[in-house]
Amino acid sequence: MMSSAEIIPKRKWQYPLAIEREYAKYLAAYIDKEAAVIESFLPEMAASVYRNRIRVDGFGDWLGNLVDKIQRKVSKAVSAVPVLGRVFGQVDKHVAHEMSATMDSVYGRKPRNNTMPRELEMLQTIWTSQNLTLIKSVDQQLMDKVRFALSQKVISATDKEKTIAELTQEIQDITGAAKKRATLIAVDQVGKLHSQLTQYRQKAMGIERYMWRTMRDSRVRMEHRARDGNIYEWNNPPSGGHPGMAIRCRCTADPVLDTGKFALVPKRNSFIYLPEDGTIKPDRVLASSEKIPRVFEPNGVIDSVNAKGHVYRTFYGADGIMVRQIHSDDHGNPKHHPYGEHGEHTHDYVWNSDGTKQVDRRADNLTPQERKENGDLLWWQRKK
């Protein structure tokens, strides 16, 4: 058995993008069903507007009764409860797989853990309750806007057919905004659930620390970009919480394994020792004659050496597509690369929806954390 040491599995912990998209798709369909129910009341809405235009004293009563009637019909037509249980189960299954696959990649099998079903049930109850509250808030906001649209029509309506057409457009606009908010909820809540279940599964395995990993694409917020590669404790979260807890955060936590805790020997080439200086280690190094690939392993890192001996570091996202590069010089063109001490800079790559065509390539300065993690590329610093 090897002596006790802290290691990081080479296998990267994967974010559940497919589940996130599925949940967002479901909530969008949920809003579409609500819209269909509301639109079925359009003739009654228009008739009520004209019937009650002159009955100002009863305005609040008929409007409230009509909206309540629509809400009751909507409540019978749609329910988010069944899908919430399914989404929780999918994310938990994903995290359990990541835990098992990660440990298997290092040890050849999964060591015994101490998961507690009651704690998992509590997580599910809390997450489900929070999501129902969020979804109901979207429902209520949608109906409040429908109520306001109807009240405005009492003031401005001039033609019945025109009123129906205008209400149809307004309801479509209202539901469109509701779908955007529902999508935000889906993305945000899957990230939070993934974070909570990752913490639960890793701690049950006796893992107390993790390495912060970002998607390394243009959507990563600057604060999290600076944390990429840093080590944190599950019992001592950084400002804003663990990976995935901030709004729409897709960062993940690679487990830091203390080999002294497991009576197993790690497989050769399955891990890296925890870097004491925090410097990023590439998964592959290319010669100057080799072309940097657009697609590589998910969350991988490639170093490419040019003819002058400078190293360019390329980062790949969770889908394996190139998302970021760090260059150590200005390519002999300081006018177009007015960055850093010697022109060192970053490039963020933006691709089309299927990742086959480059849409943009943005340049910027290195952050202080990036200078630390990629200090081996800044050759002039080593000469000082």
Domain ranges of the chain: 12-204, 206-273, 284-383
CB count within 10 Å of CB 287 equals: 8
* CA atoms of 124 and 130, how far apart (whole Å): 10
Task: Give the phi and the psi of residue 146 in degrees, each rounded to 5.
Answer: -65, -45
Q: Report d(CA 4, CA 19) in Å as an integer.
A: 37
**Which among 2, 8, 6, 4 has a CA at the least distance from the CA of 254?**
8
For residue 211, the number of C-alpha atoms closer than 13 Å in the C-beta half-sphere is 23
The gap from C-alpha 378 to its chain's centroid, in whole angstroms, comes to 31
Predicted structure pTM score:
0.72
Q: What is the pLDDT along the chain (384 residues), one digit of tens a residue?
A: 445 678 889 889 999 999 999 999 999 999 999 999 888 888 888 777 766 665 555 555 677 788 888 888 888 878 888 899 999 999 999 999 999 999 999 998 877 777 778 899 999 999 999 999 999 999 999 989 988 888 887 776 666 677 778 888 998 999 999 999 999 999 999 999 999 999 999 999 999 999 999 887 778 888 888 788 888 999 999 989 999 999 999 999 999 998 888 878 888 878 887 765 556 778 888 877 788 999 998 878 888 877 666 778 998 887 888 988 988 888 778 887 788 877 888 888 988 888 888 888 888 888 877 777 777 777 554 444
